[in-house]
Amino acid sequence: MEVKTIREKFKSLYGSDGATYTSPGRINLIGEHTDYNGGFVLPGAIDKAMYCVIKPNGSDRIRAYAMDLSETDEFGLDDIPVKQWSKYIFGVCNEMIKRGKKVEGFDCVFAGDVPLGAGMSSSAALESCFGFAINDMYGLGFDRFELALTGQATEHNYVGVKCGIMDQFASCFGKEGSLIRLDCRSLEYEYVPFDPAGYRLVLLNTCVAHELASSAYNKRRESCENAASHIRKYHPEVELLRDATLDMLKEVANEVSAEDYIRAEFVIEEIQRLQDACKALEQGDYETVGKKMYETHIGLSRKYEVSCEELDFLNNIARECGVTGSRVMGGGFGGCTINLVKDGLYDGFIKRATEAYEQKFKIKPKVYGVVIRDGARKLQE
Ligand code: GLA
């Protein structure tokens, strides 16, 4: 959908022009389920984003139109709205109010092209888009760190997903052509230029999203925290799994459940894998990066158990086609694989993967070439 169309809709609904803001979805090259363990991630903002047109309306109510769904809602800032998408807007406003700021009523229209449930962070894009817009519109003075944290708190307190900071951070801090190497504990970050000559990065969307994904996600987080708390009894310096080693985990093998053990093992290994992949990236060694991506997939599938038949199928085909790296991306339970493919193999891989997938699952997977773009911003009229 074009921005012009969203602006026209705003005008036809509310009778005047509003300001336009956008914030993108993200990819993550490697480092999955490490963020809420205080580890590292390597995301980048992409060219698929959420857009909103917005204007204060002088009242204490929010009037919103979700253009992709053709749905309207109106709510005050005191009572939690019923509609799921309204909760995101309400949550962002309330988290800002909790932080001592004054947020008043506004009118808005929003739409986007980040596929839902695809592991590309459509919800973080929505939170960051509204966070950036409301902050700018009322001059609230939040910086991008605080906006990312406000979005994350919205997930925790109004949506019920105990997510880490990666998605909101990437949406707020994205930079064209660069990945972000983020330390999720200190929030120190570094832009890593990413333009792998001779390779392409492509997402294949299984177009399946599993319903219990958010409760399963929260359960993974609990397992990690539980393992960390057992290790802490013997190693008080271990605040999160980021601080633990495999040897420390072995020491508590008899105290934690087999399930918690294997989840924690994955996370400790994944934090190391990311470090190895970053070193390889510095040397332009994409073959090693790709190898690490496959290892991540195996870990996510067998140890963390967040893959599914459809994702494993696409991962296998990548392997068979000689693709350099491939893995499930994001929270898992459906969504996309991210693939690092040599130029010469690209067309053959896409053809084979789409045909075989369609034959087996009777749905066409969607293919998105990755373009790395800037994060949250205001669009000029
Ligand atoms: C989701 C969460 C993130 C992160 C990833 C897995 O996208 O929102 O915080 O945990 O899953 O890496």
Q: Tell which phi-psi region holds residue 115, choosing left (phi > 0), alpha (psi between -120 and 50) or beta.
A: beta
Query: 1 in helix, strand or coil?
Result: coil
CB 174 within 8 A of CB 26: yes
Say yes or no: 19 and 83 in one domain. yes
Say yes or no: 118 and 221 in one domain. no
> C-alpha angle with apex 302: 273 to 125, nearest 5 degrees?
65
The reported pLDDT for the residue numbered 358 is: 98
Among the options 107, 167, 243, 260, which is catalytic? 167
Say yes or no: 163 and 207 in one domain. no
**Residue 205's pLDDT band (cuts 50, 70, 90):** very high
Say yes or no: 38 and 181 in one domain. yes
| Distance from Cα 100 to the centre of ligand 1, integer Å | 28
The reported pLDDT for the residue numbered 265 is: 98
pLDDT digits (tens, 9 = 90+) for 114-138: 998 899 999 999 999 999 999 999 9
Say yes or no: 145 and 226 in one domain. no
CB 331 within 8 A of CB 210: no
Lowest model confidence (mean pLDDT) among 18-22, 59-63, 192-196, 319-323: 192-196
Output the residue whose Cα is nearest ligand 1's atom 9. 164
Handedness of CA 343, 328, 291, 32 (dihedral sign): positive
Say yes or no: 59 and 20 in one domain. yes
Query: 265 in helix, strand or coil?
Result: helix
For the purposes of burial, counting CB atoms within 10 Å of the CB of 255, is it exposed (0-12), middle (13-18) or buried (19 or more)?
middle
Output the residue whose Cα is nearest ligand 1's atom 1. 331
- Average pLDDT, rounded, for the chain: 97
For the residues 283-302, what does the mean pLDDT come to? 98
The reported pLDDT for the residue numbered 213 is: 77
The reported pLDDT for the residue numbered 353 is: 98
Q: Which two tokens stand for residue 43?
A: 């995301």
CB 361 within 8 A of CB 340: no
Alpha carbon 310 to its chain's center: 20
Say yes or no: 179 and 31 in one domain. yes
Q: Which residues line ligand 1 (CB under 6 A)?
A: 32-33, 35-36, 121, 163-164, 166-167, 330-331
Share of the chain above pLDDT 70, in %: 99
CATH of the domain at 137: 3.30.230.10
Say yes or no: 131 and 203 in one domain. no
Say yes or no: 174 and 214 in one domain. no
Q: Is the pLDDT of residue 276 over 80?
A: yes
**Around Cβ 348, how many Cβ atoms within 10 Å?**
13
CATH of the domain at 306: 3.30.70.890
Say yes or no: 256 and 360 in one domain. yes
Q: CB-based contacts of 54: which residues, under 8 Å, 6+ apart?
A: 18, 19, 20, 21, 106, 107, 108, 130, 133, 134, 137
| Distance from Cα 33 to the centre of ligand 1, integer Å | 6
Ligand 1 site-directed mutation target among 32, 159, 163, most atoms within 8 Å of CB: 163
Say yes or no: 156 and 217 in one domain. no
Residue 273 domain boundaries: 199-370
Q: Which two tokens stand for residue 152?
A: 């994350």
Say yes or no: 113 and 219 in one domain. no
Residue 167 appears among annotated catalytic residues:
yes
- Run of H or E residues at 25: strand 19-28
The reported pLDDT for the residue numbered 210 is: 80
Would you list the DSSP string of 137-179?
Answer: HTT----HHHHHHHHHHHIIIII-----SHHHHHHHH-BTTEE
pLDDT digits (tens, 9 = 90+) for 320-369: 999 999 999 999 999 999 999 999 999 999 999 999 999 999 999 999 99
The reported pLDDT for the residue numbered 336 is: 97
pTM here?
0.97
| Distance from Cα 4 to the centre of ligand 1, integer Å | 32
Give how many domains the chain has, as a whole number.
Answer: 2
**Residue 98's pLDDT band (cuts 50, 70, 90):** very high
CB 122 within 8 A of CB 48: no
